Amino acid sequence: MTKNIFWELEIPPKIHDANLTIQNEGCFIQLTDTHIDDQYRLGSCTNCGGILCCRESNGNCSNENSAGPWGDYTCDMPERTFESALLEASEKHDTKFWLFTGDFCAHDIWEINRDDVMSDIGRTWELLLKYAKGKVYPVIGNHESPVINCFPPPEIQNELSIQWLYEYMSDLSKDILSPDSLITLRRAGNYKEFLDENTVLLVVNSNYCARLNFWLFYDPIDAGSQLSWLIDELLAAELNNHKVHIAMHIPPDNRECIEAWTYNYIRIIERFQQLIVGQYFGHTHFDEIRLIYSLVDEKTPIGVQYITPAQTQFSHTNSAYRKFCYNNGQLSDIFTYYFDLFENNLLPNSRIMWKKEYETVKDYELMDLSPTSWNHFLQQMHDNTTKRQQYLLHYSSISRHENFQNISKEKEAKILNDIPIKKPFENPPNSIETF
Ligand SMILES: [Zn+2]
Ligand SMILES: [Zn+2]
């Protein structure tokens, strides 16, 4: 039993020092958590009392309880809102590639079936392909299983298997991904792609880290071999002097993942930190960071997880997307874009007015995007109300519906306490939520 909880993967020692002067540069767009609701109806009731409103079955409402043309803060969004984000991102930004970090399906989790999942993924994917500048790389979210969060490991080959999802995703991506990527994607939802000759993207299926994936009771030790695969690919990158972007849906923090998975992930980041350009996630729907600290010296930050805010407005947030830029093996800046739902719902026939919300380095007054700079920023947030208010304003993408600048001290402390990731076995989560 103990072995099943405190497992530790073997991580080989350094073969040689990573080449720190690798030339690579580019920008990419990250979009995440669309959860498009194809049953969204303009004018339907937003206060239905259920999990997901704004549907024909909720009846028609007027005034403030009426579903708007671009969405509502209590509902999943209409397709036209996502299409507006895609058009905007495509027209305004020169990018090498796009990244979509999962949760294609709406939040009607009580009635969704396999056909609905495939239909939601297929429709969203078609739109992504229509607008993306460069290739678009998919990540599988926890909502892509008809039974939410339920991802059996690949050795389950009976009627409970989730192989059909991985096969469907690889069929959709067959013109984008390499034959090797399609093999691993088809097996367990993970893959590696070269972005240029010096840079690789490693997509990890972090549904195999999630506490809410009950299959981890059956197979708790690196289910789907996601972390063993990550170690192998990072070793290959080190040997070949490649830099690495890591993308997942669920961020491996002290809340979402089983302790041993997070523990081993921290060990991996600590061992390979010089290779990593950035780590990108979705899932929480909020604009957040996580800061990983060394297991050897817990005062030393060793990695940053960037959680891009959602497209859907379901969590009372404004829709947002991001552009990341990197050069010479490091992230150089991050630009976050959003639109004010309240303001734009008054203009049903105009194009959505997307705005730049903030530039991370300039607006947060960071020296750079290194873990050390973010550690300094975290200390400033604890000491300085202005910095903390800035982070909280962005947390909901400046939502008028839920202004995090006015939240209680307890909620504020919880948001700040979510940021550091330290010794997972000593910092178990207080609560689990799903998005
Ligand atoms: Zn989501
Ligand atoms: Zn999610």
Token pair 């379901």 in the structure block, residue: 314
Looking at the structure, do residues 69 and 101 belong to the same domain, yes or no?
Answer: no
Residue 126 burial (C-beta neighbours within 10 Å; 0-12, 13-18, 19+): exposed
Distances (CA, A) of 129 to 87, 138, 424: 12, 11, 38
List, for residues 132-146, the tens digit of each pLDDT value. 999 999 999 999 999
Looking at the structure, do residues 46 and 162 belong to the same domain, yes or no?
Answer: no
Closest ligand by atom to 149 CA: 2
Q: Indicate the residue type of 318.
A: N
DSSP state of 141: -
DSSP state of 159: T
List, for residues 302-323, the tens digit of each pLDDT value. 999 999 999 999 999 999 999 9
In a domain, 82, yes or no: yes
Spatial strand order in the sheet of 355-359: 135-138, 97-100, 25-31, 320-327, 330-338, 355-359
Looking at the structure, do residues 54 and 113 belong to the same domain, yes or no?
Answer: no
Q: With bands split at pLDDT 50, 70 and 90, how would you rate the model's confidence at 18?
A: low
Average pLDDT of the chain is: 95
Could you give the percent of the chain with pLDDT greater than 70? 97
Rounded average pLDDT over 282-311: 97
Boundary residue ending a domain (75, 99, 133)? 75
Rounded average pLDDT over 366-389: 96
Looking at the structure, do residues 205 and 63 belong to the same domain, yes or no?
Answer: no
CA of 147 to the centre of ligand 1 (A): 14
The enclosing domain of 311 has a CATH number of 3.60.21.10
Alpha helices, DSSP H, located in 78-197: 79-92, 114-131, 163-172, 179-188
CA of 13 to the centre of ligand 2 (A): 34
Residue 15 or 330, more confident: 330
pLDDT of residue 137: 98
pLDDT of residue 17: 73
Least confident of 2-16, 110-124, 190-204, 421-435: 421-435
Rounded average pLDDT over 196-207: 96
CA of 285 to the centre of ligand 1 (A): 6
CA of 310 to the centre of ligand 1 (A): 7
Q: With bands split at pLDDT 50, 70 and 90, how would you rate the model's confidence at 23?
A: confident
pLDDT of residue 264: 98
Boundary residue ending a domain (75, 91, 119)? 75
CA of 209 to the centre of ligand 2 (A): 12
Rounded average pLDDT over 415-430: 88
Q: With bands split at pLDDT 50, 70 and 90, how would you rate the model's confidence at 403?
A: confident
Residue 254 or 91, more confident: 91
Total tally of structural domains belonging to the chain: 2
**Global pTM value:** 0.97
In a domain, 432, yes or no: no
In a domain, 64, yes or no: yes
CA distance 219 to 36: 32
pLDDT of residue 397: 98
Looking at the structure, do residues 149 and 248 belong to the same domain, yes or no?
Answer: yes
Q: Which residues surround ligand 2, an ion (CB under 5 A)?
A: 103, 141-142, 283, 435
Residues spanned by the domain of 213: 2-40+76-341+351-426
CA of 379 to the centre of ligand 1 (A): 29
pLDDT of residue 19: 62
| Per-residue pLDDT at 432 exceeds 80 | no
Q: For the chain, percent helix, then strand, then coil, each to nearest 5?
A: 35, 20, 45
List, for residues 169-198, the tens digit of each pLDDT value. 999 999 999 999 999 999 999 999 999 999
Looking at the structure, do residues 215 and 69 belong to the same domain, yes or no?
Answer: no
Looking at the structure, do residues 56 and 117 belong to the same domain, yes or no?
Answer: no
In a domain, 383, yes or no: yes
Angle at 131 between CA 126 and CA 134, to 5 degrees: 105
In a domain, 435, yes or no: no
List, for residues 211-244, the tens digit of each pLDDT value. 999 999 998 999 999 999 999 999 999 999 999 9
In this structure, is the dihedral angle defined by the CA atoms of residues 68, 69, 73 and 79, taken in order, positive or negative?
positive
Boundary residue ending a domain (75, 96, 118)? 75
Could you give the percent of the chain with pLDDT greater than 90? 89
CA of 138 to the centre of ligand 2 (A): 14
pLDDT of residue 253: 92
Could you tell me if 246 and 279 are in contact, meaning their C-beta atoms sit under 8 angstroms apart? yes
pLDDT of residue 306: 98
In a domain, 413, yes or no: yes
Closest ligand by atom to 286 CA: 1
CA distance 63 to 127: 31
Q: With bands split at pLDDT 50, 70 and 90, how would you rate the model's confidence at 433?
A: low
CA of 179 to the centre of ligand 2 (A): 27
CA of 284 to the centre of ligand 1 (A): 6
